[in-house]
Structure 1
Amino acid sequence: MTQKIGFVGLGAMGLPMAANLLAAGFHLTVYNRTASKAEPLVAKGAHRAARAGDVAHPGGVVVSMLADDASLEALVTGEDALAEHLAPDGIHLSMSTVSPATTRELAAYHASHGSVMVAAPVFGRPNAAQAKQLRICVSGPADAKAKVKPILEAMGPEIFDFGDNVGAANVVKVAGNFMIAAALEAMGEAVAMMRKSGVDPAAALDMFAKTIFAAPVYQGYGPLIAYGRFTPAEFRLPLGLKDIDLALQAATAANAPMPMASMLRDRFVSAIAKGRADLDWSAIALGAADDAGLKESR
């Protein structure tokens, strides 16, 4: 029997993720605040729910891919009461990038209402989601993780298990996004120095991405920064600021100073203050160009 699952959140990431679940043969009931975003999925056979809570049934599985902690908390504990709709023994597969503390609090809320939460944040931009190439971090109860594994495998080739502590995967996710932001800043500073030295930064970053920095972050973001290609934005600057704030909150909770994260936060705040909020988050690289007296290259 084909498994029936719910999916909430059909943004730039959620839509292709849900489409891949449909392609894998799952029966989907979907919900998005802007109902029209569900149309491509409905055309492929998904059922559209009128309310977020309607995607769930007792003992079932619901996947959520939401923008922030507040949206996730409202889904679980608000008027849609996902935690209650899934009981008994249903599973909420939370794939959003949110605070580890929020995940732990909502997991406890789920448990108190007879349902289970598994954290499964992802690494990858919308094109990776579409190509089923997401790297997925997972944490939570072992039996629940085993049940949702086929769902995760339909969205990405690699699943990394960080244990039973449900907030662990979110710690890894915010740490990884901090490291990506640090790489964006490093490339921005290097590009500014090379531009002022009369060196072609695109050629240099291409060389780096093939040799000493042969990694997806440098290969994917290097050309954006070298050529100033910050639109269309797949991940906007305010979302980057949100994730750096999450990293700083986790660092504070762990008594682990992150001075570079504090500097990166200032870069994001400055970029947004300069009217760049609609640009891709890699546009924090423009801060180094500003400091060097360079005009935007885009």
Structure 2
Amino acid sequence: MTKPTIAFIGLGIMGAPMAANLVKAGYVVTGYNRSPGKIDALVARGGHAADSIADAVTGAEVIITMVPDSPDVEAVVGGPDGIFAHAQPDAIWIDCSTIRPDVAAALAEQAAAHQIQAIDAPVSGGEAGAVEGTLSIMVGGDGTVVESVRPVLEAVGRTIVHVGPAGSGQTVKAANQLIVAGTIELVAEALVFLEAHQVDTTAAIEVLAGGLAGNRILDRKAASMVARSFEPGFRVDLHHKDLGIILAAAREAGVAIPLGAQTAQLMQALRQLGHGGLDHSALLLLVEQLSGRAAKD
């Protein structure tokens, strides 16, 4: 079968490698981003350039968006230059952004009114997963539509699961972000604890990762946390936004998330201290400060 043409909007830390992997898989990908340099980088890897959202989506069979927040997605789809105004009938819109579940469900209804088939497909795995094409993708929407674009999703992810109707993907992503934030906080606390006792942290990480305490944060981020290297794979600012989504959704459902709420406060405090542009593993810096311990040279 002929591969569908793809418009990719949002070529940031996650979007750029995802679009590149689609090109690598043989898809014709036209990219748009507010920063032209990101578009040039995609073109250098075999993609095509668009100078507007309208230009990118016109004639595209599949449209993928990867932008920071709910208002950004609403801006991309609406207005005279937006997706809804220019996508062809029966185009499939895949939103890989992380946004509010209720917004995702509402936008899916609006898309249907414009004869566009929408699915919400937020991703997990960070920049490394995006580069490696091993993202976990939680998908909400019509099952038939999801299956029709599964090959597209498989070009950027390893675990693709249809989790329910429109908005469900975002709900599962919220749960994912809750677990990730809490795990980072506990790993940060453990590392500061180990250092305070002058334990060999490299050896400690190895044995912890091999037991019941093993987790992906230990595997992927512990070494850089020990080195105090917080080059952003996923920024504090974005995780702060995601935790706000979780708190609102939990309150709406009447669900208590006491540890999640505490972690959200810690993430907010880290952001207020001026660390919003760092990787979310920089929670270690806050634990260190709360412990009265000087930053490691």
Shorter-chain TM range is over 0.9
Q: Secondary structure at the match of 1:274?
A: helix
Preserved contact between residue 57 and residue 83 of structure 2 (Cα < 8 Å): yes
Could you tell me the TM-score, scaled by structure 1's length? 0.94
Aligned pairs for 1:81-120 (under 5 A) are 81-120=82-121
Q: CA deviation at 1:89?
A: 1.6
Q: Distance in 1 between matches of 2:177 and 2:136?
A: 13
Q: Distance in 2 between matches of 1:285 and 1:86?
A: 44
Q: Secondary structure at the match of 1:260?
A: helix
Q: Distance in 2 between matches of 1:297 and 1:59?
A: 50
Q: Distance in 1 between matches of 2:215 and 2:98?
A: 22
Aligned pairs for 1:105-184 (under 5 A) are 105-163=106-164, 165-184=165-184
Alpha carbons of structure 1 residues 225 and 170: separation in structure 2 relative to 1, 3 Å: same
Q: Distance in 1 between matches of 2:48 and 2:286?
A: 45
- Deviations along 1:76-101, one digit per CA (max 9) or x if unpaired, are 12332312322422111001111111
Q: CA deviation at 1:67?
A: 1.1
Q: CA deviation at 1:188?
A: 1.6
Preserved contact between residue 206 and residue 223 of structure 1 (Cα < 8 Å): no
- Deviations along 1:248-283, one digit per CA (max 9) or x if unpaired, are 111122111212222112212211222222221111
Q: CA deviation at 1:207?
A: 1.5
Equivalent residue for 1:36?
37
- Deviations along 1:203-251, one digit per CA (max 9) or x if unpaired, are 3222111222333222112222233222x22211111101111111111
- Deviations along 1:5-43, one digit per CA (max 9) or x if unpaired, are 111000011111001111111111110011121112212
Preserved contact between residue 6 and residue 28 of structure 1 (Cα < 8 Å): yes
Gaps of 5+ in 2: none
Equivalent residue for 1:209?
209
- Deviations along 1:270-298, one digit per CA (max 9) or x if unpaired, are 11222222221111122221121111225
- Counterpart amino acid of residue 35 in structure 2: T
Equivalent residue for 1:9?
10
- Deviations along 1:42-61, one digit per CA (max 9) or x if unpaired, are 12332211111222236721
Q: Identity over the aligned pairs, expressed in percent? A: 32
Equivalent residue for 1:218?
218
Equivalent residue for 1:227?
227
Q: CA deviation at 1:161?
A: 1.4
Equivalent residue for 2:270?
271
In the TM superposition, structure 1's runs of 4+ consecutive aligned residues that sit over 4 Å from their partners are: none
Preserved contact between residue 58 and residue 88 of structure 1 (Cα < 8 Å): no
Q: Distance in 2 between matches of 1:286 and 1:79?
A: 45
Asked if 1:259 is matched to 2:249, the reply is no
Q: Distance in 2 between matches of 1:294 and 1:129?
A: 35
Aligned pairs for 1:53-72 (under 5 A) are 53-57=54-58, 60-72=61-73
Gaps of 5+ in 1: none
- Deviations along 1:110-151, one digit per CA (max 9) or x if unpaired, are 112221211111111212211111111111012211221110
Aligned pairs for 1:181-200 (under 5 A) are 181-200=181-200
Q: Distance in 1 between matches of 2:237 and 2:158?
A: 29
Aligned residues: 296
- Counterpart amino acid of residue 270 in structure 1: A
Q: CA deviation at 1:169?
A: 0.9
Preserved contact between residue 124 and residue 135 of structure 1 (Cα < 8 Å): yes
Could you tell me the TM-score, scaled by structure 2's length? 0.94
Q: Secondary structure at the match of 1:157?
A: strand
Preserved contact between residue 84 and residue 115 of structure 1 (Cα < 8 Å): no
- Deviations along 1:177-197, one digit per CA (max 9) or x if unpaired, are 111110111112222222223
- Counterpart amino acid of residue 194 in structure 2: M
Q: Distance in 1 between matches of 2:125 and 2:81?
A: 29
